[in-house]
Chains A and B, each alone.
Chain A
Amino acid sequence: MKKKTVLRRKSDGYLRLGLAITGILTALILVGCFWTPYDPNALSSGAPFTPPCLSHLFGTDHFGRDIFSRVLKGGGTTLLVAVSTVAIGGIAGTLIGALTGYFGGIVDEGLMRLNDAMTAFPSILLALVLISLLGYGKSNLILALGLVFIPSFARVSRGAFASCRDKNYIQSARLMGASPGRILLVHILPNTAPVLLPAVTIGFNNAVLAEASMSYLSIGVQPPDASLGYMLSESQGYLASAPWYALCTGGFIVLLILGVGLIGEGLQRRQRESGSRR
């Protein structure tokens, strides 16, 4: 019965809207991986500085490149970076958090102090330092951002795992002879989802923001890889002659962040609601 009511609650407006926005954008980006209205790098697929019209939805830039096609390609890069970053940070962070939260002890103490020291650095600053050590480019950016995001995931999942450790159902599982690995994966992990999923949405948004910022500073994704951040920095030179360049590119980033943010907000609201009903 639970499946049917998954999206039927009154408070799920946020979740529904967020899923809709994210779904549409993801579909567009996925289509953009295989097909775009124009070749994103073709010069003069239209006259330079054509304002948005039916044949060029977002207009064209100073080289006459179709901005819509470029936004789709750039969105693909952003999405790839964000998803891989969250995957690296999320998996490594959850693993560390699970082990330290469940077993505790001196390793736990040590890692948490290290965590505290890491969070003293603003995340973009830390990523900047890592990038300057690793070198520029897409894969290094993913690696740097992924590493930077580990501590926050570790902190969240550590709390969740530690709070489950002494619950009755875990103790009974232990009495029945389940191995620690099985307890962590099968018994605790599913129950941490309400805490971890919002953390994933927040992490995703931070990753999108960080990728866009760093590419804007031209130390992230390097051309010829299309990137929304790099396009924004390019568009700033043409604010007077082609304001739609900045507006459409930035608007796409805003929608991407807004959609996932709404999903996170919806999940948290639902969590609060079921908490107060109990």
Chain B
Amino acid sequence: MKQALKKLGAFLLTMVIVSFVTFLAFQLIPGDPVTHMLGTSYTPERADALREQLGLKGPLLVRYWDWLRGFVTGAMGTSYSYNLPVSQLVGEKVGNTLALNALTFVLIVALSLPIGLFTVRRHGGAADRCLTVVNQVIMAVPPFFTGILFTWLFSVVLSWLPGKFIEFSEDPVGYWQCLFFPALALALPRIAMTVRMLRSTLLEELHRDYVRTAISRGNDSRAALYRHALKNALPPVVTFLAQTMAEIVASSIVVEQVFSIPGLGRLLLASINSSDWPVVQAIVVLLALWVMLAGTVADLINQRIDPRLRLGGAK
């Protein structure tokens, strides 16, 4: 419990650093958004009023504090180009991106664990060697190219996919069908990496003394693998899966573009193109929050699996 609180503290501290660095970066951008927004109707008085409204006045730290307080309570400022609250713009899209990332993650876990265990049990056999080679190739295919291949294969050649994105409110089943191929494209290289990682850590564990002891006590190799070795091989894999979250988030920005999914990635790109910094800032901090949350959860899971980690990381 104490350990969990410590983790929470570290998480909050890093989050503050990350958000401050992001905030600072966007303060340094040259150019005055107010001049841009007012255009021809520019007068010094109006500019002043608008600055006040957008929270562009006052010392840096005060502005940061206001922004942070707003961010936590859901008031993320006003978009320069749409003149709408950022929270509304982001809120419309965040569901799609979260659903896509979650589905990707489920696919990775659901596919890589069985495949990894399979290759270990057939270690050295033809199936294992085949999969190792296939793994190498899959790891080399960028997710957005897999996405393009999928659109070509499934919507142009086979015409299975609907031409446009279906919203969840319209048709929940169609929505998940729409997300399935993007998620698979995102998941494939990560599945290959997880399988490789699981395979090598498991093989290493299987050579340890305790596995030999377990077998000499009458366990068959299956029980030794599932009950003894797997438990010890999991923590590095869980950590790896959490880092995977960062990569999923990054690649989903590109894959959303490939499949025209209206998510945070597309909003982010549009906002970068129109120099809409409040939106960019909010999305960047949100995605970093999501990634770090995954890392913290992974640490907590590892502490459940491996009691040694509960004692302050002493090995």
Contacts and interface: CB of A to CB of B under 8 A. Distances in A.
Contact of B28 (A133, A235, A240, A246): A133
Given A116-B14, A128-B268, A129-B25, A213 B144 contact: yes
A132 interface: yes
A120 interface: yes
A124 B250 contact: yes
B141 A243 contact: no
A132 B280 contact: yes
A205 B25 CA distance: 28
Interface residues of A, number: 39
B250 to A, nearest CB: 3
Contact of B142 (A14, A253, A262): A253
B210 interface: no
Contact of B291 (A121, A213, A246): A121
Given A217-B257, A257-B140, A261-B139, A129 B148 contact: no
A142 interface: no
A120 B291 contact: yes
B42 interface: no
B77 to A, nearest CB: 17
A120 B292 contact: yes
B88 interface: no
A90 B64 CA distance: 34
A209 interface: yes
Interface string B14-29: 1001100110011011
Contacts of B288: 120-121, 125
A119 B14 CA distance: 11
Interface in A115-166: 116-117, 119-125, 128-129, 131-133
B118 interface: no
Interface string B239-268: 000000011011101100110000000001
Contact of B295 (A120, A132, A236, A250): A120
Given A120-B14, A125-B249, A261-B139, A246 B148 contact: yes
A209 B148 CA distance: 15
Interface in B93-151: 136-137, 139-142, 144-145, 148-149, 151
23 contacts: A14-B136, A120-B288, A121-B284, A122-B249, A122-B291, A124-B250, A124-B251, A124-B253, A124-B254, A129-B25, A129-B280, A129-B284, A131-B272, A217-B254, A219-B269, A219-B272, A239-B152, A240-B156, A250-B142, A257-B140, A257-B141, A257-B142, A258-B137
A-B residue pairs, 9 tightest by C-beta: A122-B250, A258-B140, A124-B250, A250-B145, A257-B140, A122-B246, A132-B272, A213-B254, A239-B152
